[in-house]
Structure 1
Amino acid sequence: MFETIKNLFKKEETFSCIIFDGKKMKYLDLTQKEIDRLKQEHKDWTITKKEEC
């Protein structure tokens, strides 16, 4: 039970990203799960981590 509670407060690593949807460019800090979800939902979007630039 302690591990379950501990995992609730664990902070996931975030990455600075540039998201381009064809019209607007957005700068966000996203977790890897969020990046993967956006890539699956929006195939035409370009998502680039700051480290990859």
Structure 2
Amino acid sequence: MSNAKENTAQTSVRLPVDVMREFRAICVLQGTSMQAVLSDYIYAYIEEHKKP
């Protein structure tokens, strides 16, 4: 995962309120942040779909 000191950009995602609440609650229960989970998924998505 990226280091917070690196250059970063902010983005936003619109989700249904109930989905956002459930996502936040699961992250809290797992002791992680929504940002960490989303970053991990985005990096994995990029790796999976990168052109050779």
Question: TM-score, normalised to structure 1's length?
Answer: 0.30
The structure that is strand-richer by fraction is 1
Structure with larger Rg: 1
The structure that is helix-richer by fraction is 2
Question: TM-score, normalised to structure 2's length?
Answer: 0.31
